[in-house]
Structure 1
Amino acid sequence: MSRLNLFAPDVRENPYPFYAELRRNSPVCQVEPNGMWVVTRYDDLLTAFKNTQIFSSAGMRVATEPPYLRRHNPLSGSMILADPPRHGALRGLANRAFTASAVSSLEQHMRSTAARLADDLVQRRVADFVTDFASRAQVSALAKLIGFDPSLEKHFERWTTDLVSVGTISPEDHARLDEVRRTIDEMEQYMLDLLASRRRRLENDLVSDLLRSRSNDDATTDQDLVALLFLLLVAGLETATSLMTHMVLILARRPAWLDRLRAEPALIPGFVEEVIRFEPPVHATMRLTLAETELGGVRLPAHSVVALLVGSGMRDETRFKDPDRFDPGRRDQANLAFGHGAHFCLGVFLARTQARVVLEELVRRCSRIELRVERLEWNAVLNTRCPVALPIEVIPTSRPAARERPSVQGSW
């Protein structure tokens, strides 16, 4: 029997029936590309997330810095590709400044940006939600929080696209490899210049807070800071854009929810949580086995590349009742969509806040959101699953709904 190819067009378009088949018959197995192993059941995913001594994140640096890249990739030095105890030191660096209070202070900025973009969307009526709204909203939030120059929006999008594609580039594709090397050069120089600028003049942003918090005996280096900035830009832009895009795609396919959320906006956070479960912004995450081990009754050889298919685990029938039904009323989210344990996502509060604010502004203005394409094109990146573009038409409300959130009783 041939192996499932995770990048086959029909799998990419709707992977969930294929995942269900794997959960039933081959919950831990090899797939294409490259015979990597996949883990598909919720409990097995949880086991792998917890066992960092066997399922190594650091081992996956080969995906961000393959030998044929012939250049150091600062993303390889980030905490997402580190194991304890190194991971703890790097995470502590980010925790000094990347706090819930910092994100909370951003909410008004996020709201004004979302309102402006939503007004523009309503005025234009037809747009690509990915490029015209989602990525612009997140770039604005990251620029404000971290200290990036928002005028470089198009560079950020290109940088992110290039960085996440490193592991999928053929060693023979010399032109593409040259492009990625130039991108890494640009990014690293921009981050170093930003650090130098903030040393000359501290401002109210994360970069300045990181520099303020460093003591004389601090072992962290400028390269550690650059690696963190690489991670925050790439992961922050990619995952939040995916979350917002899936949120709007679900609304387009289930128009009754727009009316419901407009009437009962206090239900919006629950809607966002179900989007996160139903279409996780991190669809898969990679590990490397440091020793032979057993998982799900299958022996995994040492040095095996393993994809933890979070998108499958969040549809596991043994963990969620009727998992393929979109149900914002679920009481137990049990969400692995932002990782677990040591690698629980640092930006989770930012992503949830951004999604909630965007949804609040959209439901006030839109009576319907309609797709303007028959078949979507999906990205070719394993860790996220998102349409490359989302052409939509917006049908505006006759007048904006009130901002107040009425008290809500009852259930979905």
Structure 2
Amino acid sequence: MDDVAPRQATAAQPMAPAAPPSLYQLLDPEVLADPYPLYHRLRTWDPVAWDPFLHAWVVTSYADVITVLHRFSADRTPTPAQLRALGLTALEPVAQVMVRQMLFLDAPAHTRLRGLCSGAFASRRVDGLRAHIQDIADRLIDRVVPQGRMDVIADFANPLPAIVTAELLGVPTSDHAQLKAWSADFAEMLGNFQHNPDRVASVLRSLEEMTRYFRAAIRDQQRTPRHGLVRLLMDASEGGSRLSEDEVIANIVVTMVGGQETTTNLIGNGLLTLMRHPAALARLRDEPSIIEPAVEELLRYESPSQHTARLAPDDMALGGKRIGKRDAVMAVMAAANRDPSRFADPDTLDLTRPNNRHVAFGWAAHFCFGAPLARIEGQIAFATLLRRLSNLALEPGRLAWRQNLGLRGLLALPVSFDAQARP
């Protein structure tokens, strides 16, 4: 990959300046495995830079990312008609769902939907789930301790949030593996900025199956009401108006995906980070009281959600550049979280870092309302893994990262430990 600094010129032949770095280089598997040098080059080259490959502005400084998340428009999903005009008719069913999701709406529509959904994830409510989440975590560990090895992703990081999410939705927990598979497919549309025709068929199939599943869940709730987000959204009303069934399903889907993907990636990325920093791992194991700031540092250091797109609401200035109305802007939260102007020694893992106001969960109106639950799941996950598994070690082999450029996570994380695990 090109360096930021121009190459040395020779007397015989002048050398052209190096090409600017591009976020598009995340398509290189080597860069995807460690994107932080690229983010550093982007921020050093120009913290607000036009990327001709993405036809978007790429923003990498902490202050400017905050501005984008606070002031720029989230209403960026192409409508079905716009996709038809681009020759992407096959993606129309996805657009019909995404245009109803709060993630891609501005106020007042976003405010209305968020208010209706966020009650299921209120801090007091999810804090009451600690003992139950702990029980789920212990049961998952109980299954693998006799073997002395496991794949952290398949055996723990996937099922833990999937089971919890199923319970919060009010659907059978026995369906958690299917919910996770659908979630991973739909996340292709949320985390990638490239159009991958090879993945369209599976995304559409998962969307169709999810829609059918949640329509059936709504019918079931009508017959036998029980607590959960499905019921909450069915009953929700504001100013005498209720959500349509399509709105209910669209926002169940985005809540389900967000609730699983972020936490799975937090657990996988965080445990890998700790294993690559043995002193930090030992400290967290010996000082469980620091688990809360430790999880915040792991979120900053290896952000599960790396970047998000916005549109400029008007002609405006940002970082000394003139941004045109409706110009696309990529806010790179993972770069902001390693900005040395905001975080001292940003590439150093500091489990008790003070004033750690990272942007891993976003900012302002679109701050992730599932953050309290993700934090609790992360705290329980790391504390349980380190308490119960002795001599935890990475197994040999090359790590494989998911081909999702915005939602950073591992495909697998094989580890070994003493089979006689701690109770």
User: Given the two structures, how large is their TM-score scaled by the length of structure 2?
Assistant: 0.86
Aligned mates of 1:295, 1:172 — CA distance in 2: 31
Aligned mates of 2:422, 2:196 — CA distance in 1: 56
Q: Does 1:46 align with 2:66?
A: yes
- Of 373, 376, 393, the residue aligned with 1:370 is 393
- Of 60, 77, 91, the residue aligned with 2:77 is 60
Q: Does 1:243 align with 2:266?
A: yes
Unaligned runs of 5+ in 1: 401-412
Does the CA contact (< 8 Å) of 2:101 and 2:250 recur in 1?
A: yes
Q: What's 2:347 paired with?
A: 324
Identity of aligned residues (%): 32
Q: What's 1:8 paired with?
A: 28
Q: What is the SS of the residue equivalent to 1:59?
A: coil
Aligned length: 395
Aligned mates of 2:342, 2:306 — CA distance in 1: 17
Cα distance, 1:170 vs structure 2: 7.7
Unaligned runs of 5+ in 2: 1-18
Tell me which amino acid in the other structure corresponds to 2:75.
A
Aligned mates of 1:273, 1:99 — CA distance in 2: 19
- Of 294, 307, 310, the residue aligned with 2:333 is 310
Cα distance, 1:246 vs structure 2: 1.3
Name which of structure 1's ranges 227-236 and 115-124 shifts more when overlaid on structure 2. Answer: 115-124
Aligned mates of 1:163, 1:73 — CA distance in 2: 14
5 Å-filtered alignment, 1:6-405, equals: 6-31=26-51, 33-51=53-71, 55-61=72-78, 66-67=83-84, 68=88, 69-71=91-93, 72-166=95-189, 173=197, 176-214=199-237, 217-395=240-418, 399-400=422-423
Tell me which amino acid in the other structure corresponds to 2:65.
L
Cα distance, 1:76 vs structure 2: 3.1
Tell me which amino acid in the other structure corresponds to 1:57.
A
User: Given the two structures, how large is their TM-score scaled by the length of structure 1?
Assistant: 0.89
Does the CA contact (< 8 Å) of 2:399 and 2:413 recur in 1?
A: yes
Cα distance, 1:304 vs structure 2: 2.5
Aligned mates of 2:353, 2:21 — CA distance in 1: 34
Tell me which amino acid in the other structure corresponds to 2:127.
S
Cα distance, 1:196 vs structure 2: 1.6
Name which of structure 1's ranges 88-97 and 325-334 shifts more when overlaid on structure 2. Answer: 88-97
Aligned mates of 1:347, 1:319 — CA distance in 2: 25
Aligned mates of 1:319, 1:170 — CA distance in 2: 30
Cα distance, 1:242 vs structure 2: 0.4
Aligned mates of 1:98, 1:104 — CA distance in 2: 9
Q: CA RMSD in A?
A: 2.4
Cα distance, 1:245 vs structure 2: 0.6
Cα distance, 1:380 vs structure 2: 2.1
Name which of structure 1's ranges 327-336 and 290-299 shifts more when overlaid on structure 2. Answer: 290-299
Does the CA contact (< 8 Å) of 1:289 and 1:304 recur in 2?
A: yes
Does the CA contact (< 8 Å) of 1:288 and 1:305 recur in 2?
A: yes
Does the CA contact (< 8 Å) of 1:281 and 1:337 recur in 2?
A: yes
Cα distance, 1:62 vs structure 2: 6.2
Q: What is the SS of the residue equivalent to 1:6?
A: helix
Aligned mates of 1:32, 1:129 — CA distance in 2: 38
Q: What is the SS of the residue equivalent to 1:77?
A: coil
The superposition leaves residues 176-226 of structure 1 with CA deviations (integer Å, 9 ceiling, x where unpaired) of 433322221111111111112112211132322333444792342222211
Cα distance, 1:13 vs structure 2: 1.4
Name which of structure 1's ranges 356-365 and 375-384 shifts more when overlaid on structure 2. Answer: 375-384
Cα distance, 1:171 vs structure 2: 6.8
Aligned mates of 2:421, 2:413 — CA distance in 1: 24
Aligned mates of 1:197, 1:187 — CA distance in 2: 15
Does the CA contact (< 8 Å) of 2:235 and 2:242 recur in 1?
A: no
Does the CA contact (< 8 Å) of 2:21 and 2:41 recur in 1?
A: no
Name which of structure 1's ranges 320-329 and 214-223 shifts more when overlaid on structure 2. Answer: 214-223
Tell me which amino acid in the other structure corresponds to 1:44.
D
